[in-house]
Amino acid sequence: MAEAQATLTFELVSPEKLLFSSEVEMVVVPGVEGDFGVLPQHAPLISTVRPGIIDIYEAGKISRRIFVAGGFAEVTGTRCTVLAEAATPLDEIDRAGVEERLRSAESGVKDASSDAERAAAEAEKALAEIMLEAVTKG
């Protein structure tokens, strides 16, 4: 009888580079319809990724937490690939910097002179709020 596969390949890619590639036990991804866990032999899936935290499990526990600003995920039975708009390890995010980013975005919303500027500032504000919540909850 064939033995079940114990790991899957997880790759996190940003527009600039490959950020992470390793064999892992499980990955939890923040999908637009809710967080979803990926284990070996998962059914094929493509999902949009919302801003949030990707949890990477190794040796039975979370080994890494990475904040992503959104993107797409592709899952097969042996691999999970996340194409992220931007990604930063959670422990490298500076809370004071995120708070400043939020204040700047709030100013941008107030000072916007066009609908396009307002929409961009509101999107930046929403991302900063989610990032601040992620850093706060850790």
**What's residue 4's pLDDT?**
63
The tokens describing 94, both together, are 């500076």
Q: Residue count of the chain, please give it.
A: 138
CB 16 within 8 A of CB 84: no
In this model, does residue 136 exceed pLDDT 90?
no
d(CA 83, CA 73) in angstroms, rounded, equals 6
**What's residue 3's pLDDT?**
55
Instruction: Report residue 1's pLDDT band, with 50, 70 and 90 as the boundaries.
Output: very low
In words, the CATH class of domain 8-90 is mainly beta
CB 28 within 8 A of CB 55: yes
**What's residue 70's pLDDT?**
94
